[in-house]
Structure 1
Amino acid sequence: MTSFFPDARWRQAARRALLRAHLTLPAALCLTAFHSPAIHAQEAAVFLDIPAQSLDAALIQLGRQTGLQVFYAPEAVSGLRAPALQGRLTPDQALARLLAGQPVDYRREGREVTLNRSDVTQLKPVTVLGNTLPPGAALQQEGGEAEGYRVRTVSSLGTLGAMDIRDAPYAITVVPRDLITNIQAQSPDDVFRINPTTQSTTPQMTGWAPMVRIRGFGTYDTAEDGLRRPNSFATSMEDKERVEVLSGLSGFMYGAASPGGMVNYVYKRPTLERLNSLTVGNYGGSQYYAHGDFGGRIDAQGRAGYRLNVVRQDGSTAIDDQKVDRTLISGALDWQLTDRLLAEVNASYHRYRTEGASAYWTYRPGVSRTPVPDASKQWSQPWIRDEFEKTRLMGKLTYQASDRITLRGSVMREYHDRPVQDHTMNSGRLNDEYYQIAIRSGRTKNEYQAATLMADIDLETGPLSHRLTLGYYGYSDKSWATPDSPNTGWLGPFPRSAPVHRPEPVFPDTASRPYYSGKMENQNLFLGDVIEFGDQWTLIAGVNHSRIRTRSLNAQGVRTQPDYDQRRNSPSVSLSYKPLSWLTTYATYIEGLEQGGVAPEEASNRDQIMAPMVSKQKEIGVKASVGGTLLTAALFDIEKAYEFIDGGNTYTQDGRQQHRGLELTASGKVSERVTVFGGLTWLDAKVKQSALDGKMPMNVSRTVAKLYSEYAFAEVPGLALTGGIYYTGKQWADDANTSRLPSFTTADVGLRYATKVSGKPLTLRLNVNNLADRNYWINSYYVGPPRSVAFSAQMQF
């Protein structure tokens, strides 16, 4: 039985976000009650307070207040109104009163209710979930392998909260848990590789925070469970429910950020049913690991639940003399304190150690970048080390103050302790040789904080329905730097035919106490209004008052540059039109404030912060549900200030950078046995009003195309062939457009087999990445990863 979504309107969609899941399930699951079919015959009456409103909204309230799950299709409730209900009623009595005189029939089995309109035959159902299903558990029902990894809901759009992807007037892609698991993703790089709108720019194995390129703009900006942070060092994927990627400006939703987009990592939440899962495997090379995933309810009433993920990994990667040693413990607790108050808590501890982190490459003008260095070789040094210890705490409260007011609050704090950080830089100076410098930095620390306080208010003015959202959104980064960063000096020349490894030098002691080096914070006050014009038109208008403040200090506590304090109002307006229930069109204009870039290490003005930048985006798009596939298309035009290293080796800000392009994506089932997840981005990127007028920004490809697919064999139930092909066009390796990187195409292939052993589900996975073992530049600084073979066995019990 295939499922459809009801026509969700903006006000209702945001209000139901925490308590509604849109499911596409096979018939057997849709008709399986959580309780005996006879349970409703002895149910007690409960107090209900449901105002007169649309039948769609009334059913949502009924689900919240009784715990019923109601299945229906858009046509079943379209244009219908429901009377007010107040007082003590059994769920059956409430259903009968809501549906009295309506052209709707219903059937109840246990806690599930299926609605059918009298004049529509064989309607296909969806689910509205009441307060028996916490929001995290609701997300778990989406994006499954059986659905072709197609998701319905984005868990967070910052200030706007959760929303139906089809209705959101923004370009959004989501990599859900089942897909993360099936490609055996170890780091964000694996997710960015298959996601159609992202390109990995700074791989995690370099020791730096993973940088991703979206619509041609690089960004470190990330969020975790919707809470902002400036970067995401040493990120693991085993405790993530999904990775949500918003393409383009996010100033209204998330505050100051890069115009490329926002990556939101969503943590796993407690499960409704008992979950015990154990996976053992290898991520490539000899990176053997064990991963335990456990969840369930704590109390008999099911109001509190837990989730625990534990990972232990140790071994060498597919690159010579490179090793990863990590331990992850990540837990979550949800507690429905009252029918109107939900508490969510997260805590995690992560220890991540790397040996032989990948090298950073630069080339002098005129020096050829071919042949590409052999990616399987260790072009750094085996004794290069990087260590992280991270502790994260997060808490959220959601309070349904009334049927028209919802309060949302959250706070997050994360501590980073980095005892040692080594980096290697290679410099190509002649066509057949390179020089190298190795740097060892002492202990550094960071303390990240984020907090939100928001109110959602529903009201009506004449024929218009409003959902006002207002509140505060902020985050900060306190940093402690090291006074010691000894290095080897530039050594060489070495032949580029093979790397040269040298004995580890005796560096000076770098164990001195780190000093407080400053703070960066972004505070936002916002007001937004979601206005409905009937069933087809929706307008979103809002403004974000964003303030950026930074302070930089040296080891003596003296400011290294004047304090940075900039603020601006960033407006946003979107208009959506739904000519058909399965088709959405939209137009969006949004602005955003972004902190100026920081001069890189190779610039003469290293670490200098540039002036703040204002970015502007215009976008029109369309989203369509065709069968079991979600198709999206977006035309965009983005402008921001241009920053580059000039001829005098000074990092500067001059002119504008404009990216115009087309973004296409597809996800879901194209047939019963074929799944697709892919897309295309075409860019016309150029610099204007600058000394580099007409040039294309460096490290930007005109075309990126990706297609991941799966085929399920009918002859062998449970067996699937998986794989993908990923193309990146040519990129300029310098700002002056004198050196160009060739295009590259990589391919993955894999097999998955799901069966049962002694009645317990067992899944075997095999993935080969970069099948042809091709050497290529992912950008002007880093070589792409070599071929690697990952395999695992997962047992649920």
Structure 2
Amino acid sequence: MLKRFTRTHTAIACAFALAALGAQVNANAQSAQTLTPITVQGADANALPAVAPGGQAATGAQLGILGNVDILDAPVSINSYTAELIQNQQARTLADVLQNDPSVRFTTNSGHMLEHFKIRGLDVNGPSVMLNGLYGIAPKGHIPTEFLERVEVLRGPSALLSGMSPDENIGGTVNLVTKRATAEPITTFTTSYSSDSYFQGHVDVGRRFGEEQRLGIRFNGAYGSGDTGVEDQKKQRRLGALVVDYQADNWGLKLDAYSSREKIENGSQGMYGLATTRRNVVGVGELVDVPDSDLNMFRGTHGTFEDEGFALRGDFKLNDNLNAYASVGASNSAGKGLMFGTRVIVTELDGTAAGYLYNVHTISRGRVAEVGLDGKFNTGSIAHNIKASASWLNHKEGTANNPLEGWPQNIYDPLDPPAFPGDPGVPDYSIDNILTSFALADTMDMADGKVLLTLGARLQRVKQKLQDYDESKLSPSVGIVVKPWGENSSLFANYMEGLSPGQTVPTGWGYVNEGETFKPLTSKQVEIGFKQRLGSFTHTVSAFQIDRPTLVDSADGLTMTEGGKQRLRGVEWNMFGQITPTLSVLGGLAFMDAKQRDTGLDSFGVPNWTANLGLDWATPVNGLNVGGRVVYTGKQWTDTANTLEMPSWHRFDLNARYATTVASTPVTFNLYVENVTGREYWSGLFSSGYLMPASPRTIRLAATFEF
């Protein structure tokens, strides 16, 4: 215990020593560049913060109810990844983008049709991703990136800022910002290849119309098909996304609509149970050699996932000091076939295993509405920015499956499943929840901008219609930003709460209170940190503690009750920008100490150390950039009992791009190689005892033509 205490606090001390040193440098460097804050009023209140030097991140992000905020003015830890980064890395899904964040680790791989991940060691499920500030309408499957302008990551609980999501997202919030027409016309076509033989085309067209360019239209369409890096697996994907906006003098409207589809044919990678029990099949309980990363465990299977959604937002300038907005949105998602749940339980060190396969039909539906006010006034020398909002969200979900369980299998020499189970039929909704909330926040600007104090609270009501359940919870929050050394640095602190839906005791597990649903769970975070902008380079150092309640078994094991607690303490250092005029950096380092308070054991699936560091160098050759990225994940426990430890791993990625002109047409050629050395390793955990293999070496080539 003393050893862990010392290690945690040593990390905190080192991080803040670096921060203090940076602050002193900044105080003495009066020539440091100051980026002009983005100030937007009236109908254009959704204008994005500027792109930071280097082009990989933005200078600010949307903080839910607070709107767009410069990073140095935010009382929380945030990052915003840009469309330029997405294109340069040829990131096709949200998972590819979040590979740049040291606080994010994935709990699913490409063999799973949903993208689940952890932020600050806590689960964030795909259905809990926001689209343009709204829950319930983002794609639920592999989230495509071709129609995105920004991917914003807010670390830690944020009930005040964002409200409660339909599913778990206590660790943080991801908000997707869609592209819209810019002042300059856009017409690009990108053709790309990915190993083994997957080809895709992507068109991006944007125009503004009228003498004053008030009407804008932006369309993104993509279609791809071919073989993936998994043996004999084929994939097909398509996307269509349209954004129409109109900007008047005192009001503006924006309509987003999208449709996406992904189809997988002939199997996928596996998920491997080593320290788990299912249907009297007991896992081997030891770490076995990882199977080949391109191994196909489920040949002969197939799956399709489809998403469609829309959102309409209106912004209105009522007067110079008062703005209003209203939003509505809807989404429908459906998956059929090989979706999730497929796994093998390894029973012997030689790879002998039992296979589990499910033909799944899953459906979900989201309907959302939100209204809000943004007012400004002064009381003496204090400038107030009042934000108020009311939101309503209906989330429905249902799943049916037809299983094939326990057939003989070997993870090193896999056997094809005897048959793919039949269609399970159309499911009924098993979840029908209504989330209603009212939020109020006041950001007070004091001492000529040197102190920004935010006070607020959100009243959240959760109604589970199928459980006859109706509960409410008030979540207060406070955040403060202090700038003692000028505009280029700030100290910040916050107390934030996060809400997650009340958990239901599972049926069929022998609990006498099966089916009981508990009240919404409240997680609490305290955080302090330092932010600094040194010319073209920006970094954030923060230390935090999150306390999260959990359900635990009673002493006799017959009842599941409230009373468990997980505590996570950590330190993060995030950075982006240019460290020289020709060298850009993106990434950071995170340390975590996660404990199960009721048992004293470490939390499974939370590595102590994670690091991501990417560099991009503009070479002396005109138009040529080369770079790379290293990703490191420390060792972690694979099960709640801390009996099996997964070793640390690291991965190297390389990229290069060359911008030139071909027949008077600007063209950018792009090469990206993920997992350059082809290392094979256990990359993460889906749940207790279930490990995932890394993705195989993947080569991506692309050419983007600008017309």
Q: What interval of TM-score do these two structures reach, taking the shorter chain for normalisation?
A: 0.7 to 0.9
Structure 1 gaps of 5+ residues are 1-119, 553-561
Task: Write the letter of the residue equivalent to 2:378.
Answer: E
Match among 586, 592, 608 for residue 683 of structure 1: 592
Matched, 1:615 2:523: yes
**Deviations along 1:339-390, whole A, 9 cap, x unmatched?**
01010111111122122243332124653222012111112x1222221222
Match among 449, 462, 475 for residue 548 of structure 1: 462
Matched, 1:317 2:228: yes
Q: What's 1:584 paired with?
A: 490
8 Å CA contact retained: 1:325, 1:353: yes
8 Å CA contact retained: 1:438, 1:489: yes
Matched, 1:241 2:155: no
Match among 477, 497, 501 for residue 572 of structure 1: 477
Task: Write the letter of the residue equivalent to 2:115.
Answer: P
Q: Which moved further from structure 2: 256-265 or 607-616?
A: 607-616
Matched, 1:346 2:256: yes
TM-score in terms of structure 1 length: 0.78
Q: What's 2:104 paired with?
A: 198
State the shift of 1:132 in Å.
Answer: 12
Q: Which moved further from structure 2: 775-784 or 677-686?
A: 775-784
Distance 1:600 1:167 in 2: 44
Matched, 1:498 2:413: yes
Task: Write the letter of the residue equivalent to 2:201.
Answer: A
Q: What's 1:417 paired with?
A: 334
Match among 229, 239, 262 for residue 136 of structure 2: 229
Match among 267, 280, 294 for residue 205 of structure 2: 294
Task: Write the letter of the residue equivalent to 2:178.
Answer: Y
8 Å CA contact retained: 1:450, 1:476: yes
Q: Which moved further from structure 2: 580-589 or 645-654?
A: 645-654
State the shift of 1:679 in Å.
Answer: 0.4
Q: Any residues of structure 2 matched to 1:705-784 within 5 Å, and which?
A: 705-714=611-620, 716-780=621-685, 781=690, 782-784=692-694
SS of equivalent to 1:252: helix
8 Å CA contact retained: 2:57, 2:79: no
Q: What fraction of aligned residue pairs are identical, expressed as a percent?
A: 28
Q: How many residues align?
A: 652
Q: Does the C-alpha gap of structure 1 residues 626 and 604 become closer, same or farther in structure 2, counting only changes over 3 Å?
A: farther
8 Å CA contact retained: 2:385, 2:443: yes
SS of equivalent to 1:310: strand
State the shift of 1:254 in Å.
Answer: 1.3
**Deviations along 1:21-55, whole A, 9 cap, x unmatched?**
xxxxxxxxxxxxxxxxxxxxxxxxxxxxxxxxxxx
Q: What's 1:429 paired with?
A: 347
- Higher RCO (CA < 8 A, seq sep 6+): 2
Q: Which moved further from structure 2: 541-550 or 121-130?
A: 121-130
State the shift of 1:609 in Å.
Answer: 5.1
Distance 1:539 1:487 in 2: 54
Q: Any residues of structure 2 matched to 1:351-362 within 5 Å, and which?
A: 351-355=261-265, 356-362=267-273
State the shift of 1:648 in Å.
Answer: 6.3
Distance 2:634 2:507 in 1: 28
Matched, 1:396 2:334: no
Distance 1:665 1:224 in 2: 24
Q: What's 2:541 paired with?
A: 633
Distance 1:352 1:519 in 2: 26
Distance 1:499 1:316 in 2: 20
Matched, 1:383 2:293: no
Matched, 1:524 2:437: yes
State the shift of 1:310 in Å.
Answer: 0.5
Distance 2:559 2:196 in 1: 41
Distance 1:760 1:645 in 2: 66
Structure 2 gaps of 5+ residues are 1-29, 276-282
Distance 1:121 1:729 in 2: 39
SS of equivalent to 2:319: coil
Distance 1:330 1:608 in 2: 41
State the shift of 1:122 in Å.
Answer: 12
SS of equivalent to 2:430: strand
Distance 2:563 2:398 in 1: 31
SS of equivalent to 1:178: helix
SS of equivalent to 2:295: coil
Q: What's 1:50 paired with?
A: none
State the shift of 1:598 in Å.
Answer: 5.7
8 Å CA contact retained: 1:204, 1:233: no
TM-score in terms of structure 2 length: 0.87
**Deviations along 1:558-593, whole A, 9 cap, x unmatched?**
xxxx43322110000112111111011111111222
Task: Write the letter of the residue equivalent to 1:796.
Answer: E
Q: Does the C-alpha gap of structure 1 residues 370 and 160 become closer, same or farther in structure 2, counting only changes over 3 Å?
A: same
State the shift of 1:430 in Å.
Answer: 1.8
Q: What's 1:142 paired with?
A: 51
8 Å CA contact retained: 2:667, 2:703: yes
Q: What's 2:92 paired with?
A: 186
SS of equivalent to 1:253: helix
Q: Does the C-alpha gap of structure 1 residues 531 and 160 become closer, same or farther in structure 2, counting only changes over 3 Å?
A: same
Q: Which moved further from structure 2: 315-324 or 326-335?
A: 315-324
8 Å CA contact retained: 1:361, 1:425: yes
Distance 2:129 2:358 in 1: 27
Q: Which moved further from structure 2: 632-641 or 413-422?
A: 413-422
**Deviations along 1:207-264, whole A, 9 cap, x unmatched?**
2x21111111111121111101397323101111111000001110111253200011
Q: Any residues of structure 2 matched to 1:619-698 within 5 Å, and which?
A: 619-643=527-551, 653-688=562-597, 690=598, 692=599, 694-698=600-604
Q: Does the C-alpha gap of structure 1 residues 131 and 732 become closer, same or farther in structure 2, counting only changes over 3 Å?
A: closer
Q: What's 1:306 paired with?
A: 217
RMSD, aligned α-carbons: 2.6
Q: Does the C-alpha gap of structure 1 residues 230 and 727 become closer, same or farther in structure 2, counting only changes over 3 Å?
A: farther
SS of equivalent to 1:545: strand
Match among 66, 77, 80 for residue 160 of structure 1: 66
**Deviations along 1:746-766, whole A, 9 cap, x unmatched?**
110121111112332110111
Q: What's 1:487 paired with?
A: 403
Q: Does the C-alpha gap of structure 1 residues 576 and 385 become closer, same or farther in structure 2, counting only changes over 3 Å?
A: same
8 Å CA contact retained: 2:110, 2:269: no
Task: Write the letter of the residue equivalent to 1:497.
Answer: Y
Task: Write the letter of the residue equivalent to 1:786.
Answer: P
Distance 1:142 1:385 in 2: 41
